[in-house]
Structure 1
Amino acid sequence: MPSDLDHTPTVMPLPAGQALRLHVAAGTVLHAAAGEMVLAGPMQWLAGHCHMPQQRLLTGNTWVVPTRGWLTVSALRGGALSVTVPPGWLARLRARLARPWHRPRPAARPVPLPIPDPARQRR
């Protein structure tokens, strides 16, 4: 499911006690601009059991989401969360196509070198 957020940072105010659910892509950067927040998710399967990792963000802390999935952000103290989503595959493809294309140079032809014959030198 694509996110409504783009690759520019989006700042979301979070009053104390409010929770926010986001579907995030791997590589999304979360930055606590102010306040204190607890992040829960994305869900992981470990040894056949569902595990919901938790992360605490204080003012100025940054966290990069390792895998895509749903994330719950709960504000312990009022603050603001900055979310930067990495560009999608279409933006990465456009950036790659915009780069100048260089054709690899052909390899230089080998120059034949004479191999000395030790039998001729013994005479």
Structure 2
Amino acid sequence: MDSTIITGNWKGHLGMGLATRELQCVLSTAQGMTAKEIAKLLGIAPGTVVKRLSNAMYKLGVHRQTALVSEAIKRRIISPMCIVLAALIAIHSAIDDQSIRRDRRAPERRTAELRISRRVEGYAYAI
């Protein structure tokens, strides 16, 4: 049984060591949500979220939530959905499509203000 759970911009795979609720809590933690926010989203108590995250940390052998997310990514239990966007960008750069590239320059006014401020600082030290 290898099914997928998608929460926000993250995708999680069941059958890789974590229970369904544990995986949902890890995915929500990866999005930067607090225990109270996850509890409200899943319709459970905040203490239950803390317990599920604690169980997931024990199963993956880590002691902090940031390490939990990192280890889950490393073991490919969860993955960000932005990988598809990164692949699309890589394909465009491989094609070398010049129409999507733009040159960005600083506005002339900003450059002039920077030069004036440097001159003023230079005179202040000379006096």
Normalising by structure 2, what TM-score?
0.29
Q: Which has the higher helix share?
A: 2
Q: Could you tell me the TM-score, scaled by structure 1's length?
A: 0.29
Rg larger in 1 or in 2?
Answer: 1
Higher strand share: 1
Higher relative contact order structure (alpha carbons within 8 Å, sequence separation ≥ 6): 1
